[in-house]
């Protein structure tokens, strides 16, 4: 079987096609589509997916297949936590020691000198990689506390427009928490809210409880007033377990919150005893807080000690949170910058490296969801990544017939965007796609 044979373009219908592939059972929305179809030990079913005008018109389970399908079909990925503005800045701002505080210092000095061209380079290189690797949406935190903050947001707004048909972009204004209490902070928050983006900040120990409570309360009130969501870097630390989360829950106990709040990192919570984790997880579920776990940067940065390997590592307690009903996704975080020197906006790479750290398995529904449907949920995307009739024909095809192979080798992949194969688009269209 070859690709050409496997794809039957439906003459007369644009953005149409039909393909036989393996699909994770947990990503099929309607069980009726799979009646009588077998599921292999990795949770994959042989399925025929047909689409027209960019929309899936049918999904059929293949009952008597004599051929083993060679591709795995997955929805295009959503990256719930990136830093597009500083990606690929490692060469001008390395952090050889690899710790959190060294990363922060290197980031601050790099940010002060970051030119317009350097920003453009970081964002465009990241988006071009993300596109061919199969990412369809990205939430990126943006350093927004310097004299160039407005310039950067103007540049990012025009990049978002250029890319809107290929990758949906959401930005989070990353500033010191107390900035949101200033007059400039209020003005900036209005701009962020107007463009449908999010307010951000960092809560990591050591912090002053009283002042941080006040700043956080103000931020949540401001966000509610502007109807603007929040995504915080919270408890990215190996000390004072869940101190920031406790403060956030205390704030939410004082006011009525109607916006979506995402807790990114939440790493030190994993160091608490099980009972305390369960108690806090339940409160988080009650308050509808979302979580983005970031295993790669946590493993690289946190708890480093000279000549001493830390065995118990800070990481969001993903399973315990899921069990309590909290939506948890897994993100890539930094790419080739002072916070993390490796990675490449490849969601398969992210799965391959973070699954062993977080004990997630691709054949378990709750092991796969953090990379697929839960990430879409955290970003409040129109489509949750579940494949069914009426879903967008927006997916990737991995040249592999098993999860084990797909995550061990770097499989070739084909990307379908709005019903069209990226590698088959006319040249002029492809070049506008990668502008
Ligand atoms: Zn981050």
Sheet holding 72-75, edge to edge: 55-61, 44-52, 17-24, 72-75, 395-398, 413-417, 420-421
CATH number for the domain that contains residue 416: 2.30.40
Taking the C-alpha atoms of residue 206 and residue 187, their distance in angstroms, rounded to an integer, is 29
Q: Are residues 49 and 126 in the same domain?
A: no
- Both 104 and 231 in a single domain? yes
pTM of the model: 0.94
Cα 21 to averaged position of ligand 1 atoms, centre (Å): 35
Measured between alpha carbons, how far is 289 from 249 in angstroms, rounded to an integer? 10
CA of 142 to the centre of ligand 1 (A): 9
Same domain, 58 and 86: no
Q: Do residues 362 and 418 share a domain? A: no
pLDDT tens, 296-350?
999 999 999 888 888 899 999 999 999 999 999 999 999 999 999 999 999 999 9
Cα 157 to chain centroid distance, Å, stands at: 20
The Å distance, Cα 294 to ligand 1 centre, comes to: 8
Q: Which of these three, 336, 353, 378, is where a domain ends?
A: 378
Residue 177 and residue 213 in one domain: yes
Q: Are residues 357 and 394 in the same domain?
A: no
- CA of 299 from ligand 1 middle (Å) equals 13
What CATH number is associated with residue 91? 3.20.20.140
Query: Minimal CA–CA distance to 370: which of 137, 77, 141?
Result: 77
- Between CA 266 and CA 314 the distance in angstroms is 9
Same domain for 356 and 391? no
* Tokens coding 169: 């972009």
| 329 CA from centroid of ligand 1 (Å) | 14
Tell me what percent of the chain is helix, strand and coil, each rounded to the nearest 5: 40, 20, 40
| Ligand 1 centroid to residue 81 C-alpha, Å | 6
Q: Does residue 202 contact residue 177 with C-beta atoms inside 8 Å? A: yes
User: What is the distance in A from the centroid of ligand 1 to the CA of 151?
Assistant: 21
C-alpha to C-alpha distance for 380 and 276, rounded to whole angstroms: 29
Contact 28, 61 (CB under 8 A): no
For residue 211, with 0-12 CB atoms within 10 Å meaning exposed, 13-18 middle and 19 or more buried, which class applies?
exposed
Strands 328-330 and 290-293: parallel
Residues of the chain with pLDDT under 50: 1-9, 431-435
Judge if 263 and 165 occupy the same domain: yes
Residue 140 near residue 96 (C-beta atoms within 8 A) = no
Task: Quote the domain boundaries for residue 398.
Answer: 3-69+387-433
Is the same domain home to 34 and 161? no
**Whether residue 206 has a cis bond before it, omega within 30° of 0:** yes
Q: Give backbone dihedrals phi and psi of 318, rounded to 5 degrees, phi first.
A: -55, -50
378, 401, 420 — which closes off a domain?
Answer: 378
Shared domain check, 148 and 197: yes
Domain-terminating residue out of 333, 359, 378: 378
Give me the number of domains the chain comprises: 2
214 and 328 share one domain: yes
In the reported structure, the alpha carbon of residue 265 is separated from the centroid of ligand 1 by a whole-number distance in angstroms of 8
- Residue 140 CA to ligand 1 centre (angstroms): 8
Instruction: Please give the helix or strand (H or E) that residue 99 lies within, else none.
Output: none
For ligand 1, the distance from its centroid to the CA atom of residue 141, given in whole angstroms, is 7
Strand partners, 77: 135
Q: Are residues 155 and 263 in the same domain?
A: yes
Between the CA of 431 and the centroid of ligand 1 the distance, in Å, is 30
What's the CA-to-centroid distance between 82 and ligand 1, angstroms?
6
Phi, psi of 220 (to 5 degrees): -65, -40
Residue ranges with CB less than 5 Å from ion ligand 1: 333
Region class of 81: left (phi > 0), else alpha (psi between -120 and 50), else beta: beta
Helix residue ranges per DSSP H, 302-401: 318-324, 347-358, 365-368, 373-378
83: CA distance to ligand 1 center in Å? 6
Residue with structure tokens 């980031």? 107
Q: 292 CA distance to ligand 1 centroid (A)?
A: 10
């Amino acid at each position: 079987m070859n690709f050409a044979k496997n794809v039957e373009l439906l003459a007369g219908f644009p953005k149409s096609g039909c393909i036989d592939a393996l699909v994770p059972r947990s990503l099929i929305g309607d069980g009726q589509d799979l009646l009588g179809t077998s599921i292999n030990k990795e949770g994959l079913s042989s399925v025929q997916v047909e689409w027209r005008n960019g929309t899936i018109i049918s999904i059929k389970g293949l009952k008597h297949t004599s051929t083993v399908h060679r591709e795995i079909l997955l929805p295009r990925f959503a990256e719930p936590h990136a830093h597009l503005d500083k990606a690929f800045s490692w060469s001008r701002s390395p952090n050889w020691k690899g710790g959190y505080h060294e990363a922060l210092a290197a980031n601050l000095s790099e940010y002060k000198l970051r030119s317009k061209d350097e920003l453009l380079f970081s964002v465009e290189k990241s988006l071009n990689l993300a596109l061919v690797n199969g990412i369809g949406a990205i939430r990126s935190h943006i350093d927004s506390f310097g004299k160039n903050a407005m310039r950067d947001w103007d540049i990012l707004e025009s990049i978002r427009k250029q890319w809107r048909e290929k990758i949906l972009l959401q930005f989070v204004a990353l500033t010191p928490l107390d900035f949101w209490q200033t007059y400039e902070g209020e003005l900036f928050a209005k701009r962020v809210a107007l463009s449908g983006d999010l307010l951000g900040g960092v809560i990591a120990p050591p912090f002053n409880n009283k002042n941080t409570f006040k700043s956080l309360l103000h931020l949540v009130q401001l966000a509610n007033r502007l109807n603007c969501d929040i995504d915080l870097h919270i408890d990215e630390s190996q000390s004072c377990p869940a101190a920031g989360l406790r403060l956030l829950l205390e704030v939410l106990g004082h006011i009525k919150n109607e916006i979506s709040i995402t807790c990114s990192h939440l790493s030190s919570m994993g160091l608490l005893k099980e009972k305390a984790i369960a108690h806090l997880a339940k409160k988080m579920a009650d308050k509808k807080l979302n979580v983005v776990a970031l295993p790669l940067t946590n493993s690289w940065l946190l708890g480093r000690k000279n000549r001493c390997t830390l065995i118990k590592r800070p990481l969001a307690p993903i399973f315990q949170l899921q069990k309590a009903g909290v939506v948890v996704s897994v993100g890539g975080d930094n790419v080739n910058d002072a916070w993390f020197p490796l990675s490449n906006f490849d969601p398969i790479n992210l799965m391959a490296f973070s699954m062993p750290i977080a004990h997630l398995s691709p054949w378990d529904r709750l092991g796969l969801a953090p990379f697929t449907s839960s990430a879409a949920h955290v970003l409040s995307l129109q489509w949750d990544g579940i494949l069914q009739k009426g879903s967008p024909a927006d997916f990737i095809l991995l040249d592999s017939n098993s999860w084990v192979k797909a995550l061990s080798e770097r499989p070739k992949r084909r990307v379908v965007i709005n019903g069209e194969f990226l590698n088959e688009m006319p040249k002029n269209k492809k070049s506008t796609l990668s502008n």
